[in-house]
Amino acid sequence: MKVTARLTWIEEKILEKLLGNASLTLLYQSSAHKNCVSEMTQKYSLQGSTMTVFHLEKDVVVGVFILENFPRLVSEKPCTCAWFSLKRNNSSGISALFLNTKVIVDSEELIIFSLDGLSLSVTPLRGFTLALNDTVMNGLELNLGHGFLPVECEIFRVDGIKKNPSFIKKMVTAEQHRGKLLSALRAYKPYKDLVSEVRILLVGPVGSGKSSFFNSVKSAFQGHLTRQAIVGSDESSITKQYRVYSIKDGKSGETLPFMLCDSMGLEEGEEAGLCIDDIPHILQGCVPDRYQFNPCEPMKPKHSPHAASPPLKDRIHCVAFVLHINSVNTLSDKMVAKLKKIRKDVVDCGIGYVALLTNVEEYDEVLDDSFANMTETVTSLSQVQNVQKWLNIPIANILMVSNYASERRLEPMKDILVFAALRQMLRAADDALEDLPLEDTGNLAPF
Amino acid sequence: MAMRTRLTWQQEKCLQNYFGGKRFCLLYKASVQKFSHQNLLCTCENQGPTMIVVYSEKCVIGMYLKEGFQGKDVSITIFALQETGFSLCAKGPDSPYLLFHKRKTNDFSILLDEKAVIVSSAICKMLQLTARNNVIPIQECEAFRCEELLDERKTRGIAVLHSNLLQALRDYKPYGDLVQQTRVLLLGPIGAGKSSFVNSVKSVFKGSITHQILVGCDEDGISDKYRTYSIKAKDDSDPLPFILCDSLGLGENAGLHTDDVWHILKGHTPDRYQFDSMKPITSNHPNYTHDPLLKDRIHCVVFVFDINSFEMHSSELVAKIKKIRRDLIKHGILHLALLTHVDSLDLITKEDMTDIYNYSPVKSKLEAFHGVFGFALSDILVVSNYVSEWQLDPVKDMLILSALKEILYTANEFLEDLPLNK
């Protein structure tokens, strides 16, 4: 006889994605194997991380992911657990909680409870019934009756994830945090509404990921992979035009209050890549969208040097130096000199600036468990130290992302890095706007 | 120590194909759960078809229990995987429990406590094994439940995703309703599968296989006319809001003239225009579109290549294609690559196509393609066109629909990015 999981294939995919693209292997099933605790423990002893799933009536699935090995028969032990529930045929609805939990196995009963008051117990001998207390019901947004619920139980081994409580906590709470960041960015307003949209300039060497970052930002807001900026590889910069990109919110379709300005890549040689003398023109807002850069000749502004400069809204309000994290430590002296020159121009114009390191591989380790700050592991990287030293950028403004360049599915953890980087850029822009001399804001100086 | 099989992907594929499209779910691993036949039996009882594999220094030896561990004799197949290949012999019915004990009558035993396999001389000969005194030391033992790769459970899930994807494409609208139908141009070498892709898309939406567009591999290619194909969904009278444009194949000297590419892109080339490799269309042509509108232009270009032959094109053809791509970049025309015949890659089967981008042969091909032509990995799509089949297959449909969805999303980005003056 064949053993087939009752968890549907689509539900399996949802759970695998929740845990960071894990894979599930069925070990025990109450309708195929003996209904007793000893059989359960034998089937999933020493299997590593497991997920215990209960199929309730009313098409509800409740489960507990346990990071550590399952306890032996007649024992108890603290475990790192994620609790979740999902409803069949509800394609997006999944509730998940990360809690430190104790698992108790005695000869007749399995009890899983957390210090926060969640409690779940299974008694196989009574025809497999499950008891959930009110805290579980509320925490997992369940609306079930009380008492013992007849269930089918399945236990899966979880492969392909990091055996790290911090990782699990982040994966389980990532979607929620992503939503918070997204809401904050949607609600953002530039400092004192001095401009309706903040302009962020992306500048950096060829192939550092400037255009990919724009695509990643747009993808994160749209909820699916986007390809508006052409990326790839060629002998020189793929991007040869100056582009000013607006981004629409994927939900409301409204334009977000910032624009990303993409430029030609920098190259080592003179008369190659973006002309350094073009930078001041870009910063002052003299370069129109779609302007075709010429590596050998800077732009000749139409206005005379003594005419009024463009209004504040057309200027750059934040500059992001975009660097490939694997290339930072091998930047040539000439490239560093170019970057320093640009930084000087940026400072002279009173514009905020950050550094953005792209292609971070361990992107799930950039932020701490609560997504509040960068981890010390990250801030102590030699790449970060070097950028701080060369460009005099505070570490808090040396940001990290992993662009969507080879993946086909979005991941909440990557979205979070993109949103967090944007938030820091907008803060830098606000700092600069706040620091503007009064005459630059359009107000007359007081007498 | 992780619960991960030591079988390589190729070995797993070999076993998969031989035992009839099975997926192997690791249940027991001796180095994690102790070299103990009792532990193996505890995890493997009543799990359905089961496979036990042991690893010696030089080869993999295993046995396949078609009915798994139950309280009765079951049919057993013993096999070996070596550098020289795969070999096996049928053992006939036996109690699987007894295979873990030393018995005089046993011609095959796995003694986990002793980390050894005892194989009779007869079986050694059949499996081409070398065993001193009929004993082979082993380093590891693994046990697997064998599931159908495409069982009813997965098929049902695929049907749901298929239905959702089909509906999403039917509901597709060009960005801002700027045009009624998005135009997608298929460009690529002769024989790459451009026309087959159009046929495949038509088939998926029609709900049955169609070969309306002639496909072949004449010396100069069958597609010698410019054709613009609307697609209709089953039971719908209106065409879907996109058009697939098929052209003469690209060749080193013959094939589509580079200047004709630009006429197509700008919308000057009429439907059914007969291409001439030597002479691009001119404004004197009676059906030339003099003042094309946005709706006549191409909104997305898809470069189509056969996944097996893109590495064999001449450097002249590669340079020609790269030149076209560079010009597309210069003019801001978004483009993707589509690799066909993914099902013909070594060891790839239909069952793999639900997760095709995760398989190493596919990954290798995409990276090779990126190396030759410079496309970002996420801009390279793969499909398996309908060529010889009589019936639609939901797994192939999914690949075709997924690729089409990416193409139409990309066309929408082109429309979104148009300068205001169009």
> B261 to chain A, minimum CA–CA distance in Å?
19
**For residue B372, how many other CB atoms are within 10 A of its CB?**
15
Each residue's pLDDT tens digit, B87-136: 888 888 888 888 898 766 778 999 998 899 888 989 898 898 888 788 99
Inter-chain touch B3–A8, beta carbons under 8 Å: no
Q: What residues contact A219, with CB distance under 8 A and at least 6 apart?
A: A225, A226, A404, A410
- Under a CB-based contact definition with an 8 Å cutoff, are residues A208 and A322 in contact? yes
Percent of chain B past pLDDT 90, that is, above it, reads: 46
Query: What integer is the mean pLDDT of B262-272?
Result: 89
Is the domain A180-440 a CATH 1.10.260.40 member? no
More confident residue, A163 or B270: B270
Residues B32 and B81 in one domain: yes
Q: Which of B148, B170, B198 is the last residue of a domain?
A: B148
Based on the fold, state whether residues B74 and B167 are members of the same structural domain: no
In-domain check, residue B386? yes
Size of interface A-B (CB pairs under 8 A): 110
Torsion angle defined by CA atoms of residues A39, A44, A50 and A53, in that order, rounded to the nearest 10 degrees: -20
- Mean pLDDT across A284-297: 87
The pair of three-digit structure tokens given for residue A280, joined into one six-digit string: 């001041």
Return left, alpha or beta for B341; rule: phi > 0 is left, psi -120 to 50 is alpha, else beta.
left
Check: CB of residue A275 under 8 Å from CB of residue A298. Answer: yes
Asked if the model's pLDDT at residue A174 lies above 50, the reply is: yes
- Interface probe, candidates A39, A91, A164, A230, chain B, greatest B C-beta count within 10 A: A230
**Who has greater pLDDT, A259 or A128?**
A259
Query: Which candidate from A32, A46, A227 shows the least CB-CB separation from B33?
Result: A46
Please indicate, yes or no, whether residues B71 and B217 belong to a single structural domain of this protein.
no
Q: What CATH number is attached to the domain comprising B195? A: 3.40.50.300
Could you give the CA distance from residue B98 to residue B284 in angstroms, rounded to a whole number? Answer: 87
Say yes or no: B201 and B283 in one domain: yes
The C-alpha atoms of residue A125 and residue A110 are separated, in whole angstroms, by 11
Element (H, E) at A64: strand A60-66
Question: How many Cα atoms within 13 Å fall on the side-chain side of residue A322?
Answer: 30
Q: What is the DSSP letter of A367?
A: B
Distance from A177 to chain B by nearest Cα, in Å? 26
**Tell me: the pLDDT tens digits for B186-202?**
999 988 999 999 999 98
Q: Which of B147, B152, B334 sits opposite A227 (nearest CB)?
A: B334
B109: amino acid identity, one letter: S
Q: Is residue B316 part of a domain?
A: yes
**Does B27 lie in the same domain as B96?**
yes
Residue B422 placed within a domain: no
Facing A46 at nearest CB: one of B32, B147, B335:
B32
DSSP B371-391: HHH-B-GGGEEE----SS-SS
- Residue B286 clears pLDDT 50, i.e. is over it: yes
Residues 6+ apart with CB under 8 A from B29: B3, B4, B5, B140, B141, B142, B143
CB A208 within 8 A of CB A324: yes
The ipTM value here is 0.88
Q: Do B139 and B232 sit in the same domain of this protein?
A: no
Tally of domains within chain B: 2
What distance lies between CA B5 and its chain's CA centroid?
A: 23
What is the per-residue burial (b if ≥16 Cβ within 10 Å, else e) of B241-265? Answer: bbbbbbbbbbbeeebbbeebbebbb
DSSP for residue B272? T
Contact A230 B43 (CB under 8 A): no
Q: Are residues B274 and B258 in the same domain?
A: yes
Q: How far apart are CA A357 and CA A182, in angstroms?
A: 21
Cβ-based neighbour number of residue A332 at 10 Å: 10
Q: Start-end ranges of CATH 3.40.50.300 in chain A?
A: 180-440
Q: Within a domain: residue B118? A: yes
Are the C-beta atoms of residues B195 and B214 closer than 8 Å to each other? yes
Whether B314 maps to a domain, the answer reads yes
Hey, is the C-beta of B326 within 8 angstroms of any chain A C-beta?
Answer: yes
| Cβ within 8 Å, pair A26-B145 | yes
Task: Taking residues B228-246, report their average pLDDT.
Answer: 86
Q: Which residue among B33, B46, B419 places its CB closest to the CB of A32? A: B46
Instruction: Choose the closest CB to A228 out of B2, B33, B413.
Output: B413
- Paired sense of beta strands B335-340 and B380-382, if any: parallel
Amino acid symbol at A60 = V
Choosing from B94, B117, B148, the residue where a domain stops is B148
Q: Check pLDDT > 70 for residue A102.
A: yes
| Contact: B378, A45; criterion CB under 8 Å | no
Indicate whether B2 belongs to any domain. Answer: no
Q: Do B19 and B54 sit in the same domain of this protein?
A: yes
B133 and B184 co-located in one domain: no
Using alpha carbons, list the distances in angstroms from residue A47 to A155, A243, B48. 11, 53, 19
Contact B60, B185 (CB under 8 A): no
- Average model confidence (pLDDT) for chain B? 88
Looking at the structure, tell me whether residues B124 and B254 fall in a common domain: no
| Contact in structure between B35 and B115 (CB atoms under 8 Å) | yes
Say yes or no: B156 and B138 in one domain: no
pLDDT tens sequence across A123-148: 887 677 888 888 887 888 787 776 76
Residue B126 structural domain:
9-148
Rounded to whole angstroms, the Cα distance separating B8 from B3 reads 14
Is B334 at the interface with chain A, CB within 8 A? yes
Which residues of chain B does A21 touch, with a Cβ-Cβ cutoff of 8 Å? none
Side chain identity, residue A178: R
Q: Which of A3, A6, A294 to mutate to test the interface with B (most CBs of B within 10 A)?
A: A3
B168 and B74, same structural domain? no
Instruction: Give A2's contacts in chain B (Cβ within 8 Å).
Output: 48-49, 147-148
Task: Answer yes or no: is B239 within a domain.
Answer: yes
From B89, B116, B148, the end of a domain falls on B148
Half-sphere exposure of A348 (CA within 13 A, CB side): 11
Does B368 reside within a domain?
yes
Judge: A230–B413 Cβ closer than 8 Å, yes or no.
Answer: no
**pLDDT, tens only, A64-89:** 999 988 887 888 889 989 988 887 66
